[in-house]
Amino acid sequence: MQGCSVARLELQTLALLAASYVVWALGTTLAAALWLPLGMACVVLAAVMHSSLCHEALHGHPTRLRWLNEALVFPQLTLLIPYGRFRDLHLEHHRDEQLTDPYDDPESNYRDPKEWAGFPAWLKAVFVFNNTLLGRMLVGPVVSQVYFVKADWALIRAGDRGVLTAWLLHVPAVGLVVWWMVAVGQMPLWAFLIATYAAHSVLKIRTYLEHRAHEECKGRTVVVEDRGLLALLFLNNNYHSVHHARPSVPWYHLPEQFREERDRFLAENDDYYYRTYRQVFSKYFVRGKDPVSHPLWPRE
């Protein structure tokens, strides 16, 4: 099954992509006009699903053609992250030997202990709160966006044309969303922005504990064996250890592969495992899972 990733057109993925656009369009129009909270909920669900589908696209789904996959997810419903930067940074993140590295892993939430020691008290308070699940959902989108834009701006100023191109392409991708909201949408702008921010908050649930500090590379990646709404919205990326081991496998095969090789995956990731997202919420909603500074840094 390991080689089944891009052998054919994936109708399941295409169907979800079409559904995400339809639900988002209905949410910003008819549903918002009928009852604003219903429209906002539709926008949240559709934007989260679309972000997960962007993740599928950069891993070679639902077709074998990269340009077509990227065209299918071109409108950026979540507004903030250029697809090209998400693609490049996420593929860099898949170098498992540098997972959680404060510098080389672009998705790491850990800070260098020396850098952490120099933070002012107010910034330390923000990061400590951000290390709870509640904090990650409330302020996490702002914290990550500030550091992301700051890093990309530095690269653009240094002459990185690839980063600049990704941001320039992001303009029409967001422009399509803005055009729709102005020309067709029936949702107030404030409600749309709140719903879009809420989508980023939901996505932070998935990324909150995907990785941990561990001496062994394979021990750094989690499995959350959830099969509920969040697992669907995340396209089974909660089986994250399976995804990192086999990144080309499509979302709908990840649970099956975990069930077939459960003991192997849990042995490899040193039993970094949660039964459901309910368990994650009960343990970490108001309590931090990790220290902010990397507990094993610097590594040899």
pLDDT of residue 300: 54
pLDDT of residue 299: 67
pLDDT of residue 259: 97
Per-residue pLDDT of the chain (300 residues; tens, 9 = 90+): 344 434 468 999 999 999 999 999 999 999 999 999 999 999 999 999 999 999 999 999 999 999 999 999 999 999 999 999 999 999 999 999 999 999 999 999 999 999 999 999 999 999 999 999 999 999 999 999 999 999 999 999 999 999 999 999 999 999 999 999 999 999 999 999 999 999 999 999 999 999 999 999 999 999 999 999 999 999 999 999 999 999 999 999 999 999 999 999 999 999 999 999 999 999 999 999 999 999 999 865
pLDDT of residue 211: 97
DSSP letter string, 156-209: HHTT-HHHHHHHHHHHHHHHHHHHHHHHT--S-HHHHHHHHHHHHHHHHHHHTT
pLDDT of residue 94: 96
CA 51 to chain centre: 7
Q: Cβ–Cβ contacts within 10 Å for residue 134, how many?
A: 15
Find the angle CA(80)-CA(78)-CA(135) to the nearest 5 degrees.
75
Positive or negative CA dihedral for 105, 106, 107, 111?
Answer: positive
pLDDT of residue 1: 38
DSSP letter string, 85-108: HHHHHHHHHT-GGGTT-TTT-TT-
pLDDT of residue 298: 85
Nearest-angstrom CA–CA distance, 208 and 203? 9
